[in-house]
Amino acid sequence: MPPRGSSSESLSSSAGPPPAFSGIPPPPPGDPPSWPSPRVPLHVGEAQLDRPAAAQCVLAGLHEKSAGTLYLTNLRLIWEPLQAPNDANGANEAYAGLPAVLGLETPRLLSVPLYSIVSKKIYRSQAGVILELLQKYNSRPALRVGLSESDCSRISGVLTLHLKPPANPMEVRANVERSYAVLHGSQLAPTVERKAHSNAFKGWTSMFDASADYQRMGLLNPLSHWRVSEQNADYQLCGTYPAKLVVPRSVKDDDLLKASQFRSAGRVPVLCWKDPFGVASICRSSQPCVGVSKWACPQDEALLQAIADTNPFNEQLQIIDCRSRVNAELNTAKGKGYEHQTQYINTKISFMSIENIHVMRASLKTFLKLLEPKTLNASKTGELYKEEDSFLSDLDKSGWMGHILKIIRTTATVVKMISVDRASVLVHGSDGWDRTPQVTALAQLMLDPHYRTIAGFQQLLVKEWLSFGHQFALRCATLAPLEHGHYTPSDEEMSPVFVQYIECVWQISQQLPKAFEFNSRYLATLLYHVTSCEHGTFLCDCERQRVELGLPTCATSLWAELDGPEFLNQEYVPDAAILMPNLSASALKPWTAYYTRGAEIMLEDPQSLLEVRVHKLSEENARLKRELQALQAIQVVASQGEASTSKGAAAGDHGSAAAATDGAADAPTAATAASTLTRQLTDKELQDLNGQAPPLSPGGDPDVNHDIVTWQLTTES
């Protein structure tokens, strides 16, 4: 945060020229190829947008400065110290591709994704002109650098050009074809490099196979009450729905078309999950267009009745309206509304009072304000700002934790209806792409253990969030084409909808730490890539846009990058039980490791540090097992060699040529079988494995102690 009494939004608010900054002088203007490149290698398709600028990184909360250079590319901002920091072994950790936290004693490279930036501040302080960049969903600055006035003005202008909401299709945020993700994938495509990145492209198709998911839930059974409809194959039925839809078998495609015309944005009620071992189901849709006149649509009413008929154990269809009743009534004035039981028989509607996107955006802003770091009081040197005694009450007033709890409680209501009442449930809000997937995706996570694995969770995200049209670009202020009749991107349309869902998953994982195969770092990295725009997975607002732009063939998929062992929960225990977390407000806690991360993906907490340690021990254990197997194979070969020698000696003593031939044949066979296990082991490793004295040297002398004993299996003719 800027020092008190010195912050300003403009460069001209304070008199006096900024001080000169030490560092690499900026090169003269020229073509991008003539600009100096950072020491960290740029990715394929990554290009500098402006010439590098000498920049001093101002450490968080302090007046200390580290000289370096600021680079601006079409993917990120990179601040490099003048000299690359080295660890004790001389290895440069700063260039491992991960961001680094501000305030370390040794300056490290800082990397901030371009589209993760939500705002910038420019102000004067004793250090000069300061450019401070704030990320989305982050209470701490990701980058704070001192620049010359001309460099600051120039870089600020480029950032504004790339981050402002687009007004026409050719502006940066609407021109997906020129984004880094597409340039990166397109340049990989015709080269050998694409083969090396084949898994990144396969993630588009291999991660979620709709037919396999249908098969797992028993929907492809000829006796099933459900069928797969191709009515939306060309996205004409509903442009924000997936190409394949699952509907009751008794509903015809013509009736489905008429029912979609009665639902907001054409988002007709369709299946998203069915109990693989039962008949209860979860469907999703948008609100019906009943209006104040209570218009009716026989096809829509018949569709809901058909959904209820698929469940012979409970004939009443439960409707979960995520809005409050007041908001639902207000929507009737706009020609929309909710299902009236006088029109929709065998239904029961419940209003859950989850707030809209505007309330959530304001709540997060207040919540992040509470988590801002405290600094030294400029007017009273040596005294800290007084910590307000009202933090807990202010946290409650922000409403953020209350909103998280309400989403979890609403989901628990759905889970109870499915598991206890054996009822089928229809979930919707207004348009069915914000609050609706929060509830449906969380309910499936709690009901179905398949979605609690890494692969299953990724499939769940593809199905409920990507395929069913959550507007990632609109809500996260990233990249999507402009379309006539759709919402125009603006700051008023931003909202932390997906962040809330991920936090709900995190909150449940904290209560039930053995239930999920993935850990907190996995969730934080997932959120990092939602706004990094490094891959094509979260670009655009629906499946149709991604298909029309050809992203599955010209942009990499995120899922291959989230397949590392560092994302595994070492305490995971597979369990088919239905999850039911504690619904008390006291069971929740702020996810400070994520919301106060600064330039990191997330801050390390005791749990994540323990997971890293367990992961390293697991790798060490696997290595030792391999070495033990190699040692055992060597011992087998040695014993068989001794046996063959004995046979040869016996053959020589008794003149038996046949015995000698058999003995000679045994040795190469044993050696060949173990040749793949040839290892180079230190004496200490062998002692640790066997608990014995140092092994014999290759010459067989037990008195000779070698630092390294190389076991070489050879076969003599």
Known binding-site residue numbers for substrate = 331-334, 356-357
Q: Are residues 232 and 260 in contact, defined by beta-carbon separation less than 8 angstroms?
A: no
In the sheet that holds 317-321, the strands lie side by side as: 270-274, 281-284, 425-428, 317-321, 347-351
In the sheet that holds 48-58, the strands lie side by side as: 110-113, 76-81, 65-73, 48-58, 143-147, 128-135, 117-125
According to DSSP, the β-strands at 425-428 and 281-284 are: parallel
Q: Are residues 541 and 477 in contact, defined by beta-carbon separation less than 8 angstroms?
A: no
Tokens 């039981």, located at residue: 341
Residues 6+ apart with CB under 8 A from 672: 715
Dihedral of CA atoms 155, 156, 162, 165 in degrees, nearest 10, equals: 180
Residues 6+ apart with CB under 8 A from 703: none
Residues 6+ apart with CB under 8 A from 36: 24, 27, 52, 69
DSSP string, 646-695: HHHHHHHHHT-HHHHHHHHHHHHHHHHHHGGG--EEEHHHHHHHH-SSPP
DSSP string, 232-251: TTTS-S-TTS-S-EEEETT-
Q: Phi first, then psi: what are they for 288, rounded to 5°?
A: -80, 155
Helix and strand totals (H; E) in the chain: 22, 16
Distance CA 390, CA 384 (A): 17
Distance CA 227, CA 252 (A): 10
Distance CA 423, CA 227 (A): 20
What is the three-class DSSP state of 457? helix
Distance CA 474, CA 210 (A): 26
Residue among 295, 293, 300, 230 at smallest CA distance from 261: 300
Q: What is the DSSP letter of 123?
A: E
Tokens of 129: 């002109």
Distance CA 230, CA 211 (A): 13
Distance CA 428, CA 434 (A): 9
Which H/E stretch holds residue 135? strand 128-135
Q: What is the DSSP letter of 386?
A: P
| Residues tagged in the binding site annotation | 331-334, 356-357
Q: Are residues 102 and 59 in contact, defined by beta-carbon separation less than 8 angstroms?
A: yes
Residue among 292, 290, 252, 285 at smallest CA distance from 268: 285
Tokens of 614: 């367990």
Distance CA 697, CA 715 (A): 18
Q: Is 307 left (phi over 0), alpha (psi -120 to 50) or beta?
A: alpha
Distance CA 349, CA 341 (A): 8
What is the three-class DSSP state of 197? coil
According to DSSP, the β-strands at 347-351 and 226-229 are: unpaired
Residue among 239, 265, 240, 238 at smallest CA distance from 253: 238
Cα angle 397, 401, 407 (rounded to 5 degrees) comes to 125
Distance CA 459, CA 451 (A): 7
What is the three-class DSSP state of 494? coil
